[in-house]
Amino acid sequence: MSLPLGAFELTVERQQIPSRLVRMAAPTASVAFGLLVGAVIIWASGQDPILAYTEMAKKGFGGRLALTGTLVLATPLILTGLAAVVAFRMKIWNIGAEGQLILGAVASSGLGLWLGDNGIGGPVGIVLMLGAGALAGALWAALAALPRAYLNTDEVISTLMLNFVALGIMNYLIFSSFSHWRDPGRATFPVGRFVDDSMFLHRFTGRLHIGLFIALAAAGALWWALRSTRWGFEVRVTGDSPRAALYSGMRVDRKILSVLMVSGAFAGLGGGIEVGGVLGNLDPRALSLGVGFAGIVVAALARLSPIGVIPVAILVASFTNAKPGLQVLGIPSEIVTLLEGILFLCIVGGEWFLRNALRLHRRVGPVEAAAS
Amino acid sequence: MTDESTPAASTAEPATVQASGGEPHDAARLNAITKSFFGVPANDRVDFDLRWGEIHALLGENGAGKSTLCSVLAGLYHPDSGEIHLDGERVDLASPQQALEHGVGMVYQHFRLVDRFTVAENLALGHPETGFVTSRRSLERQVAELGRRYGLEVSPKAAIWQLSVGEQQRVEILKLLYRGVRILILDEPTAVLTPQEAQSLFATMRAMAADGQAIIFVSHKLDEVLEVSDRVTVLRDGERVGSVETAEADPATLARMMVGRDLATPDRTRATAGGAALSVRGLFADGDRGLEALRDVDLEVRESQIVGVAGVAGNGQRELAEVITGLRRSKRGQIFLGDVDITRASTLQRIKMGLGFVPEDRMRTGMAGGLPLASNLALKAYRQPPLSKGPVVSQKAVEERARSLEKQFDIRGVRWAMPTSLLSGGNIQRAILARELSAGPRVLVAAAPTRGLDVAAIDAIRQILLDERDAGTAILMISEDLEEILDLSDEIVVLYEGRIMGRLDPDEASPEVLGMLMAGRTVDATPETAKDTA
């Protein structure tokens, strides 16, 4: 690869794996660089970058309400981030967390409503409801996982397409039918029926609910499972080299199935927690905001570390949380979206610079001949 | 060390210069080339000169810096310091394209051909004079003409995938000649060839040299170097040890220059073979493309016996190893481990029954290259105590076991959390053997156990295999290296197009007979082959 620049030429050379220290420092440097680029753009658009950044920090983290709001937004992001982490670790590209989250919400709200109708509620109801969400997410993922494991179909296509199917199912249940999920009392604009109050997730201060701690526990559990179990060992080996996994007697097909189902379970649990902790019903408008896709970004920024997902999800959530507040101050919310994109590009770009070196040479041949 | 490449030697008029007559300069002169990768010099102030009309061998172990030096000359790497002169003119080669423009081309070990294109199309591809519309007929005529001139016979209309490895290599050379290359670098070209194909390559090299072109021949095989080259430069640890005229060189001196010590020859003691440990009967299997890769293969390996499977790559060796180890299904036939029929057993069952496997593809099959070595050493043992209790794997036990295997098998260069793929080939192979042998196998299938390794590592690996045989293990060794087959095997079988062409006693087998069988020729001396020709 080379790029001619007058009498010079820019070429790319591959580097060997850099040291641990460099690898640790690189994302920090990338984020700093991204913030700098963002500052220039904010400044160029006529805003004060320092004001914008301080306001973003304030609206995202300053004070109890801002902070708990951010954490509540981060909760489903952590779970869809984990969904992406576990699948991507094995180089299984689950792009279907969105659909798995929706199906999780459908199952959770459905079971929650049924339990309420039959007089069951409280902690037992909550556990069953969230369990149904995780299970539904896992089964929805299995629809893509089975053909991937046994017929080697492309999971990118199947998981992606299943998102639209899931969205269609949810919209049908609320907008196009008088289903178990739809509130019959509201004829003007269709909404989902609310589950019994006893099944709302416990709230602490502000809007903060117990779901955050479930998500944190899930991150810890995934970290431990990947690091210290036979299953995690097999996932790591299969992800690095499926042939080496087969060679050492591992069942790669089952690993694909289990990994995709675990991935779906995380996303489905996220859907259940949104129903139980925030929405209280199946709300198509609140559940189709792209949390599943955002999870992929979170996982990538966290370099597929289950623990790293937590701070990244909180940071991304703080951006989202800060948007309306910034708008009030006259800073367009697009600035925040822009900044997210810039940060992502910088971090991904930083990775590339870890592995490749640019080199400027004097060009030889015709140019030099002409000069001499 | 000796440095016989005196100024006098390089100014002496090479006798072979004819076609390029009157050229006063060396074809190439590299002065004090230094190229480091992350502070580690792969080439350290290496001088090298190449005359027109000579075949100049570059000899050295793996990691000696041969490939780096060639890559610098071929424009793939830019040296940190040092000068390159081509035909007396100082040049700066920023890319392989620029090197090609200066008439320098390299044939890599892994060919860079488009499988579905014909020979002629591959030659036209990337050629500066290939226009939007190109006459296929004139192209094919030129290819045939070039081929005839240098003994590189290959049909211009054949698609690459239809060609043997040897023929593909000819296409690579043709491609460079067609681009007008006059300095040709061949990186271990004989590694993939039968002895007959190698001879034909040597004839081509001589024809080109006689035509006044300059050839760099990279190898770590002494015999070949002595046979074909005019001059030898030896590299060791990134430095030039010296250059000698081949006519004045002898194998022992060269080997010493290369290794820095005398070579140990593996002992040819034979162990007394015991009962049958691995038996293969009437085995048929398909290859990756669905073509029959194994045809009616019968084999038996007894305890304390090494059976060597000779053959040119692509004649069913990989499929044989995979079917035996459970990575590929057989179509017909049976496989027994001792008395137990394992034809339908899973890979895991076979591992548990004591079948070890050293695969030819070390980096993707034998190892998960991106994982640290400790994990790779646990690839099979992770299922049982002490490495795991129930579903939990003890990271500490994995590390401890790795430390002790590293010590026992002299695996060096391991740093914590470093990807296994960064280890040298010799250390990786030691590690694979460490893992397979620590399981105490009854039968070991070893495919290309020393391919691409340096001399010291080859010695060590062979000694490990011999010791393991003496300890009672039955070893099926698949190798393309004839000397290895002859040195280690207690019995030799030759695979050709998925069939067993012959069975030989290593004491009675000569490289010539083996080479003939490997090339699919029947030899009168082997009655076994009579039925195949019938």
Structure tokens at B416: 């914590």
More confident residue, A201 or A212: A212
pLDDT of residue B14: 42
- The answer to whether A334 faces chain B, any CB pair under 8 Å, is no
Residue A193 pLDDT > 90, yes or no? Answer: yes
Q: Where are the domains of chain B?
A: 7-103+182-259, 276-365+440-533
The C-alpha of B207 sits at a distance from chain A's nearest C-alpha, in angstroms, of 30
Q: How far apart are CA A311 and CA A44, in angstroms?
A: 30
List CB contacts (< 8 A) between B365 and chain A.
241, 243-244, 247
Higher pLDDT, B416 or A134: A134
**CA B514, B519, B521: angle at the middle one, nearest 5?**
80
pLDDT band at A103 (very low <50, low <70, confident <90, very high): very high
> What chain A residue is nearest to B417 in terms of C-alpha separation?
A20
Nearest CA in chain A to B348: A249
Mean pLDDT of A326-346: 83
Token couple for A79: 């779970």
CA dist B443 and B10 (Å) reads 54
Q: Can you tell me the distance from the alpha carbon of B504 to that of B333, in angstroms, rounded to the nearest whole number? A: 23
Same fold, B7-103+182-259 and B276-365+440-533: yes
Tokens representing residue A109 in the block: 């709200």
Provide the shortest C-alpha distance from residue B102 to chain A (in Å): 9
Residue A2 confidence (pLDDT): 63
Q: What is the CA radius of gyration of chain A?
A: 24
* CA-to-CA dists, residue A209 to A200, A213, A278, angstroms: 9, 8, 8
Edge-first strand listing for the sheet containing B89-91: B40-50, B28-37, B81-86, B89-91
Out of B359, B366, B371, the one facing A240 most closely (by C-beta) is B371
**Partners of residue B347 in chain A, C-beta under 8 Å:** 246-249
The pLDDT assigned to B11 comes to 40
- What pLDDT was estimated at residue B483? 78
* pLDDT in the model for residue A140: 98
The enclosing H or E element of B393 equals strand B392-393
Identify the residue whose tokens are 């995709």: A260
Token digits of residue B306: 């090494």
CB contact under 8 A, A241 and B369: yes
Across-strand partners of B55?
Answer: B215
Q: Cα B255 to the chain's mean position, in Å?
A: 19
The residue ranking higher by pLDDT, B110 or A355, is B110
Judge: B92–A240 Cβ closer than 8 Å, yes or no. no
Residue of A nearest to B350 (CA): A249
Burial of B92 (0-12, 13-18, 19+ CB in 10 A): middle
Contact A212, A69 (CB under 8 A): no
DSSP class of residue B158 equals: S
Contact of A13 with A357, CB cutoff 8 Å: yes
Comparison of pLDDT for A356 and B368, the residue scoring more: B368
- Residue-wise pLDDT tens digits, B431-452: 999 999 999 999 999 999 998 7
ipTM above 0.85, yes or no: no
Q: Which residue has the higher pLDDT, A244 or B15?
A: A244
- As a CATH number, domain B7-103+182-259 is 3.40.50.300
- Helix locations, B13-65, DSSP H: none
Q: Which of B263, B256, B260, B206 is nearest to B229 (CA)?
A: B206
A170's enclosing H/E stretch is: helix A155-175
Determine, for residues A244 and B366 on separate chains, whether the beta-carbon distance falls below 8 Å: yes
Structure token pair of residue B303: 């305890």
Interface test with chain B among A240, A355, A367, by most B beta carbons within 10 Å: A240
Q: Is A362 on the interface with B (CB under 8 A)?
A: yes
What does the pLDDT read at residue B269? 65
Distance in angstroms (rounded) separating the CA atoms of residues B338 and B355? 11
Note which residues in 237-256 of chain A have CB less than 8 A from chain B: 237, 240-241, 243-251
> Are the CB atoms for B72 and B48 separated by under 8 Å?
no
Give the distance from residue B13's alpha carbon to the nearest chain A alpha carbon, in angstroms.
30
Q: How far is CA A153 from CA A23, A273, B240, B303, in A?
A: 35, 31, 53, 44
Residue of B nearest to A231 (CA): B391
Q: What is the pLDDT of residue B261?
A: 54
Helix and strand numbers, DSSP H then E, in chain B:
18, 22
CB B447 within 8 A of CB B359: yes
CA dist A293 and A298 (Å) reads 9
pLDDT at B529: 41
Looking up tokens 């709302």, which residue turns up? Answer: A200
Helix (H, G, I), strand (E, B) or coil at B121: helix
User: Does B2 lie at the interface with A, CB-CB under 8 angstroms?
Assistant: no
Could you tell me the sign of the dihedral formed by the alpha carbons of B98, B100, B105, B106, in that order?
positive
What three-state secondary structure class fits A185?
Answer: coil
The pLDDT confidence band at residue A299, using thresholds 50, 70 and 90, is very high
What are residue A192's DSSP bridge partners? A182
Half-sphere exposure of B493 (CA within 13 A, CB side): 22
* Contact B83/A at CB under 8 A: no
pLDDT for res B263? 46
With a pLDDT cut of 70, the percent of chain A lying above it is 90
Substitution target from A15, A228, A233 for chain B, most B beta carbons within 10 A: A233
**Could you tell me if B353 lies within 8 Å of chain A, comparing CB atoms?**
no
Q: Are B205 and B126 in contact (CB under 8 A)?
A: no
Q: Residues near A135 by Cβ (< 8 Å), separated by ≥ 6? A: A107, A265, A268
DSSP 8-state secondary structure symbol assigned to residue A202: P
Q: Is the model's pLDDT at A369 over the cut of 90?
A: no
- Alpha-carbon distance B365 to nearest alpha carbon in chain A (angstroms): 4
Q: Which residues contact A188 (CB under 8 A, 6 or more apart)?
A: none
Maximal C-alpha separation, chain B: 78
Q: Which residue of B has its CA nearest to A13?
A: B77
For residues A165 and B270, give the distance between their C-alpha atoms in angstroms, rounded to a whole number: 68
Cα torsion B202, B203, B206, B212 to 10°: value is -120
Q: What letter represents residue A79's amino acid?
A: L
Tokens coding A165: 């199917």
**Does B359 reach chain A within 8 Å, measured CB to CB?**
yes
What is residue A87's predicted lDDT score, i.e. its pLDDT? 97
Contact residues, A window 79-98, toward B, CB-based 8 Å cutoff: none
What pLDDT, on the 0 to 100 scale, is given for residue B530?
A: 40
Closest CA to B464 of B410, B403, B404: B410
Give the closest residue to A267 by CA, choosing from A149, A57, A105.
Answer: A105
Residues of A in contact with B393 (CB under 8 A): 228-230, 232-233
CB A239 within 8 A of CB A86: no
Give the confidence band of A149 by pLDDT, cuts at 50, 70, 90. Answer: very high
Closest Cα in chain B, distance from residue A38 (Å):
33
The pTM (predicted TM-score) of the whole model is 0.72
So what's the pLDDT on residue B109? 77
Touching check for A54 and chain B: CB below 8 Å?
A: no
Cis ω on the peptide bond leading into residue B195 (within 30° of 0)? no
- In DSSP notation, A23-35 reads HHHHHHHHHHHHH
Q: Which residues of B touch A359 (CB under 8 A)?
A: 78
B164 DSSP assignment: -
Over residues A210-221, mean pLDDT: 97
Q: What is the pLDDT of residue A328?
A: 81
Q: Which residue has the higher pLDDT, A370 or B194?
A: B194
> In percent, how much of chain A has pLDDT > 90?
60
* Domain ranges across chain A: 73-308
The residue-averaged pLDDT of A218-226 equals 97
DSSP code for B39: T
In the CATH scheme, what is the homologous superfamily, with its name and number, of domain B276-365+440-533? P-loop containing nucleotide triphosphate hydrolases (3.40.50.300)
Residues A360-370 have a mean pLDDT of 51
Alpha helix (H) ranges present in A229-308? 230-240, 242-247, 252-274, 284-287, 291-301
Question: What is the average pLDDT score of chain A?
Answer: 88
Identify the pLDDT of residue B6: 40
**Gap between the Cα atoms of A80 and A96, Å rounded:** 10
**A368 has pLDDT over 70:** no
Interface of B with A in 91-150 (CB under 8 A): 91-95, 98, 101
DSSP state of B304: T
Interface check B85 vs A, CB under 8 A: no
Write out chain B's pLDDT in tens, 534 residues: 444 444 443 444 444 444 444 456 889 999 999 998 766 788 999 999 999 999 999 988 766 888 889 999 999 899 999 999 999 899 999 888 899 999 999 998 778 888 888 888 888 887 777 666 767 888 888 888 888 888 888 888 888 888 877 888 999 999 999 888 999 999 888 877 777 888 899 999 999 999 999 999 998 777 788 899 999 999 988 899 999 999 998 877 787 787 665 544 545 666 677 899 999 999 999 987 677 889 999 999 999 999 999 887 778 899 999 999 999 999 999 999 999 999 999 999 999 999 999 998 888 899 999 999 999 999 999 999 889 998 999 999 999 999 999 999 989 888 877 889 888 888 999 999 999 999 999 999 999 999 878 778 888 999 999 999 999 999 999 998 777 888 899 999 999 889 998 898 888 777 667 767 776 666 654 444 444 443
Q: For residue B380, what is the nearest residue in chain A, using CA coordinates? A: A248
